[in-house]
Structure 1
Amino acid sequence: MKELRKLERKEKSKHKYLELLMLEANIEVSQLKYRLHKTRSQAVKMACQARINALEITLQELQDEINNIKKEKTRIARSMVAVV
């Protein structure tokens, strides 16, 4: 039970962090898309697109980490049920 509660706290913390990061990233992506649309400089366009891609990769990695925590929590819960 202790391990399950520990994983639930960890999952909740990561989920809250991910939501905050997603909101901040969405703001930055919107600003970058606006700058991308507005500029004529090819270098600026490439830099903006690279930053957008980096933000999307970071968000996907965090989502994968949350999914791994959920799988671990499910595994522990099933093993607890199997023991009882």
Structure 2
Amino acid sequence: MARLLPVIAILAAWLYAMVDCALADRAAVRGGLPKTAWFLVTVLPAIGTALWLIFGRPRRSSPPRSGGTGGGRRPMAPDDDPDFLRGL
């Protein structure tokens, strides 16, 4: 069982990298390669996964910051939304 654990971890990471590459925005992919080339790189289970996660994966964009006034923020729950409560 202990010998099977690294194989399962590599397969899980490989599957994650392939799906992540397939769903990534074409314009946000880094590394100087087109998205199709990155997908072909991820076909290599351990090396391709590492290359995608280190060099090709798009960086996360931070959520926009509000200026402290809450302008533009919408309430998360319906019971916190004054427009929804007015309509009841």
TM-score by length of 2: 0.37
Q: Which has the higher contact order (CA 8 A, sep 6+)?
A: 1
Q: Larger radius of gyration, structure 1 or 2?
A: 2
TM-score by length of 1: 0.38
